[in-house]
Structure 1
Amino acid sequence: MKNTRNLFAVLISSLVLFSCSAEKKAEDGWTNLFNGKDLTGWKPVAGTATFEVVDGAIVGAAVAGSPNTFLITEETYGDYILELDLKIEHESSNSGVMTRGQYDPAARDGKGLVYGYQIEADPSERAWSGGLYDEARRGWLYPLDLNPDAKSAFKMGEFNHYRIEAIGNEIKTWVNGQEVAYVVDDMDQEGFIGLQVHSIRNPEDAGRKTTFKNVKIQTENLQPKPFNKDVFVVNNTLNSLTEYEKANGWKLLFNGQNSEGWRGARMETFPESGWTINDGILTIEASDGGESTNAGDIVTTDLYAAFNLAFEFKLTEGANSGVKYFVTLSEGNVGSAIGLEYQLLDDEKHPDAKMGREGNRTLASLYDLIKADKQGRFIKPIGEWNKGRVVVTPDNKVAHYLNGVKVVEYERGSQEYRDLVAISKYAKWDNFGEAEEGHILLQDHGNKVSFKNIKIKSLK
């Protein structure tokens, strides 16, 4: 009887402990998406890479000849916080985590296609882990050139802890506690979670493994984790800023409604014709292809010294334009006002691409001075929106970005810079591009070009 009572007491204690544990889990709000034993609740799609459970972890293995393969949840999710651990053991094993992923089973002749937001796991020298890639759709939304400090967060051959917040139209990521990507986008509001085994180029890399474990999710009573550092935000909503951006000193240069903050480069008011504002888009309409001979350039009413400038632009076929900075309006020249220029150009159709020196008049170049080092896969076609960015730090270091990738860097006032100016069209102006401050300018070159989402932050 005594032993029975003891056994009963142990049983009651165990139930109490189990109950407390369950209550703690409920209070914590996390749900395990992977039970540590089998792949219940998951299914592989779109490729033939294999997934199995080994020692409480999901192990994916690459297969020669297979496209990207995804192990996806059978359930879909809207707003959530996801955490998991991910390990890559070889540089060929690019991977990622689909966030609100989408699947078209009929695509690719019935083989299926996964597309949508993917949080990157990049073991290559590029080191863009934690960045946001739009799989099989728009490509890179947040390459880590936008947040280079985060490139060192991912560790090859070790488990890396990922945190992904998808709440409303915001997606934020962390790798091993490091703040990585911040994207505001409204393309998908719900979808599956997916674990990727990437295709491989070399057959000898077949069998290379990517391992996932501790996959858990919160879907209720979400408490977003704030970014403490000043991280660049890719904000794809029209002419708007997040509270985080405002708190970090960003302001809109174009409000989407009127010409406030802008005027003609050669006049005190905004041009009465030529420049239009419709549906939140600022456009210089086509005329005769001449340089600042019709509506004319427009400039900001304010002056800027060190700054972080971001903008989106859409070119028409054969178009030429530019975004200039450190424009002083003091040169007394005719035509377009003088300043350092982020070139906007249809490289295929406009003859200016073949002029200058070694391509230094092509898209995103420092016009007539430094050619943009860009890859075609990071350029959106004519008629689609591209993202430009110019960063000038207080020490006169300057960088141009195209769709989040750095393509030009130089130092204003350096000997190398002055040597380039000396052999350029700007040689006749003393101290060209070295003013302490100047206007931002949008150029009228007689071709139709549109702008939106123009924002700036002064740097100190």
Structure 2
Amino acid sequence: MKNVFLLLLLLSNFSLYAQWKSLFNGEDLSGFVQRNGKAEYKVIDKCIVGVSQVGTPNSFLCTEQAYSDFVLEVDVKVEVGLNSGIQIRSLSDASYMDGKVHGYQVEIDPGQRAWSGGIFDEGRSGWKYPLSANPDGQKAFRNGQWNTYHIEAIGQNIRTWINGIPCANLFDPQTAEGFIAFQVHRIKKESQNGLTVQWKNIRIATENLDEVIFDGERAPEVSYLINELTESEKRKGWKLLWNGKNAEGWKVANGQGFPEQGWSMEDGVLSVLGLRENNKKVGGDIETTDEFGDFELELEFKINKGGNSGVKYFVVDNSKKNSGSGLGPEFQILDDKVHPDGAKGINGNRTTASLYDLITSENLSEHSTVKRINGPGKWNKLKIIANKGHVEHWINNLKMVEYDRHSQIFRNLIAKSKYASHPDFGQAYKGHILLQDHGDLVHFRSIKIREL
């Protein structure tokens, strides 16, 4: 019986080991092709070593094979002063930006920001999962040492761990299959020339993935599923505010029924068309039929060049006012570079993600003036959190504004703004969520809310 037990244990261990296949033979770069930049890749002591080079764009050492569902593990070490990344499900096509490598990148970031393990959409939409969405994950990467990355890409879910610490947990439907690649980032300074990033112990599993996935703690979830909730979101009380099909749950602001003109619902996108007749808006603002107190709201929006709109909250209907508009704190949506409102107000407090006319948006997550907002024609993720008076504006998972709507500071801001004649502005216990018709074409989707 003892021999039978040992045999079963051996077979079990062999089965687990058999899931893994090496992506790198430890001797040469067989099975890889270099794309885009001309940074040097070489093999030293069974490691792939990438060497930075001034004057060349991002370089990628790409697998010849494409992968869909997999678990990837790799050890990484990078010199401080050089960031890098591991591309997964990535593509290179002559019809897209002359073959530029694009797709999901798991970040290698030894800098002060510490976003290693986050997910960047290289060559497309930018940051999908910055570590501002999971501050605990910022502690995972160890500078100057080898770090073990564990990456799971299964269906629409991509999860990452570094040294066993959960970093990212992304749901995104954009790309289901592509190559894996190791990046040497472009550099601009001579002082960065010759810095290295190294990879070793590179292995992948593509079958029986239940045997090699991590079952323990996962990072907070960020979802880009279109008009759909994840199972985790359902358990946590999220619900769709727009079903992706019709006007159920919405009405004209400060009125009854849904506008007959000015708004459209096609292919899972809710659009304000910006129609005007005799210089008047045809559709008007729309709002939820329900009212909300403490909540967390998420949606995606896309503007055209020169576009202007906004999302208002704690909006209270007023029978003495005309239908089609509502009053409440506003998350501004704007083409900051083109629309004249971007230069109005005070110190940019009418720019995207600002509390309109009151508080200017800043990149509080990175303590930076770079907002990382996608321009016209690209989708952005908006989030508003309102809890016991504390309110936050987020865009693309970066915090831009925070304030206390019941504070003395807020009341003073109101007194010096265009809302000075409304002393109770933003003070309602509950209110509607409103999408603004400002006379421009703007698109919305994946509108969801969780009451707190």
Q: TM-score range by the shorter chain?
A: 0.7 to 0.9
Kept in 1: contact 2:254–2:325 (CA 8 A): no
1:453 Cα deviation after fit: 1.0
**Alpha-carbon distance between aligned partners in 1 of 2:156 and 2:258, rounded to the nearest angstrom:** 35
**Alpha-carbon distance between aligned partners in 1 of 2:277 and 2:374, rounded to the nearest angstrom:** 23
Matches for 1:332-371 after TM superposition, within 5 Å: 332-333=320-321, 336-371=325-360
Tell me which of 266, 275, 296 is aligned to 1:308: 296
Kept in 1: contact 2:169–2:219 (CA 8 A): no
Which AA in structure 1 matches 2:198?
T
Which residue in 1 is equivalent to 2:438?
445
195-204 or 52-61: which moved more? 52-61
- What secondary structure, in the 3-state scheme, does the structure 1 residue paired with 2:233 have? helix
Which residue in 1 is equivalent to 2:32?
42
Which residue in 2 is equivalent to 1:279?
267
**Alpha-carbon distance between aligned partners in 1 of 2:112 and 2:271, rounded to the nearest angstrom:** 40
Which residue in 2 is equivalent to 1:209?
196
Kept in 2: contact 1:331–1:338 (CA 8 A): no
Kept in 1: contact 2:63–2:180 (CA 8 A): yes
**Alpha-carbon distance between aligned partners in 2 of 1:123 and 1:446, rounded to the nearest angstrom:** 45
**Alpha-carbon distance between aligned partners in 2 of 1:385 and 1:403, rounded to the nearest angstrom:** 9
Kept in 2: contact 1:390–1:398 (CA 8 A): yes
Which AA in structure 1 matches 2:393?
H
1:164 Cα deviation after fit: 1.3
**Alpha-carbon distance between aligned partners in 1 of 2:383 and 2:152, rounded to the nearest angstrom:** 26
1:251 Cα deviation after fit: 1.3
Tell me which of 108, 112, 115 is aligned to 1:128: 115
**Alpha-carbon distance between aligned partners in 1 of 2:53 and 2:115, rounded to the nearest angstrom:** 24
- What secondary structure, in the 3-state scheme, does the structure 1 residue paired with 2:101 have? strand
1:97 Cα deviation after fit: 0.4
- What secondary structure, in the 3-state scheme, does the structure 1 residue paired with 2:160 have? strand
- What secondary structure, in the 3-state scheme, does the structure 2 residue paired with 1:157 have? coil
Which AA in structure 2 matches 1:74?
E
1:230 Cα deviation after fit: 7.0
2:447 aligned with 1:454: yes
Which residue in 1 is equivalent to 2:3?
none
**Alpha-carbon distance between aligned partners in 1 of 2:416 and 2:125, rounded to the nearest angstrom:** 39
Which residue in 1 is equivalent to 2:137?
150
Kept in 2: contact 1:291–1:336 (CA 8 A): no
Kept in 1: contact 2:110–2:116 (CA 8 A): yes
Kept in 1: contact 2:60–2:183 (CA 8 A): yes
2:422 aligned with 1:429: yes
Matches for 1:15-414 after TM superposition, within 5 Å: 24-28=13-17, 29-90=19-80, 92-104=81-93, 113-223=100-210, 224-225=213-214, 228=217, 231-235=220-224, 237-288=225-276, 294-330=282-318, 332-333=320-321, 336-373=325-362, 378-392=372-386, 394-414=387-407
1:40 Cα deviation after fit: 3.7
**Alpha-carbon distance between aligned partners in 1 of 2:409 and 2:14, rounded to the nearest angstrom:** 61
Q: How many corresponding residue pairs?
A: 438
Q: CA 1:361/1:105 → structure 2, altered by over 3 Å: closer, same or farther? A: closer
Which AA in structure 1 matches 2:334?
L
Which AA in structure 1 matches 2:88?
T
Kept in 2: contact 1:97–1:194 (CA 8 A): yes
Give the TM-score normalised by structure 1.
0.85
**Alpha-carbon distance between aligned partners in 2 of 1:416 and 1:300, rounded to the nearest angstrom:** 29
Kept in 1: contact 2:166–2:219 (CA 8 A): no
Which AA in structure 2 matches 1:114?
V
1:81 Cα deviation after fit: 0.7
**Alpha-carbon distance between aligned partners in 2 of 1:341 and 1:106, rounded to the nearest angstrom:** 40
1:361 Cα deviation after fit: 1.3
Kept in 1: contact 2:169–2:218 (CA 8 A): no
Which AA in structure 1 matches 2:346?
R
Structure 1: runs of 5+ lacking an equivalent: 1-16
Which AA in structure 2 matches 1:346?
D
Kept in 2: contact 1:324–1:339 (CA 8 A): yes
- What secondary structure, in the 3-state scheme, does the structure 2 residue paired with 1:387 have? strand
Q: CA 1:119/1:229 → structure 2, altered by over 3 Å: closer, same or farther? A: closer
Aligned CA RMSD, in angstroms, stands at 3.0
Kept in 2: contact 1:118–1:132 (CA 8 A): yes
267-276 or 120-129: which moved more? 267-276
**Alpha-carbon distance between aligned partners in 2 of 1:294 and 1:210, rounded to the nearest angstrom:** 57
Which AA in structure 1 matches 2:359?
I
Q: CA 1:44/1:317 → structure 2, altered by over 3 Å: closer, same or farther? A: closer
1:397 Cα deviation after fit: 2.7
Q: CA 1:366/1:304 → structure 2, altered by over 3 Å: closer, same or farther? A: same
Give the TM-score normalised by structure 2.
0.87
1:289 Cα deviation after fit: 8.8
Structure 1 residues 11-37: Cα deviation after superposition (integer angstroms, max 9, x where no partner): xxxxxx999979734433112223344
Q: CA 1:80/1:266 → structure 2, altered by over 3 Å: closer, same or farther? A: same
**Alpha-carbon distance between aligned partners in 1 of 2:222 and 2:362, rounded to the nearest angstrom:** 23
**Alpha-carbon distance between aligned partners in 2 of 1:268 and 1:331, rounded to the nearest angstrom:** 11
Kept in 2: contact 1:96–1:195 (CA 8 A): yes
Q: CA 1:203/1:278 → structure 2, altered by over 3 Å: closer, same or farther? A: same
Structure 1 residues 14-66: Cα deviation after superposition (integer angstroms, max 9, x where no partner): xxx99997973443311222334443433443333233333443322222323
220-229 or 159-168: which moved more? 220-229
Which residue in 2 is equivalent to 1:415?
408
1:218 Cα deviation after fit: 0.8
Q: CA 1:432/1:331 → structure 2, altered by over 3 Å: closer, same or farther? A: farther
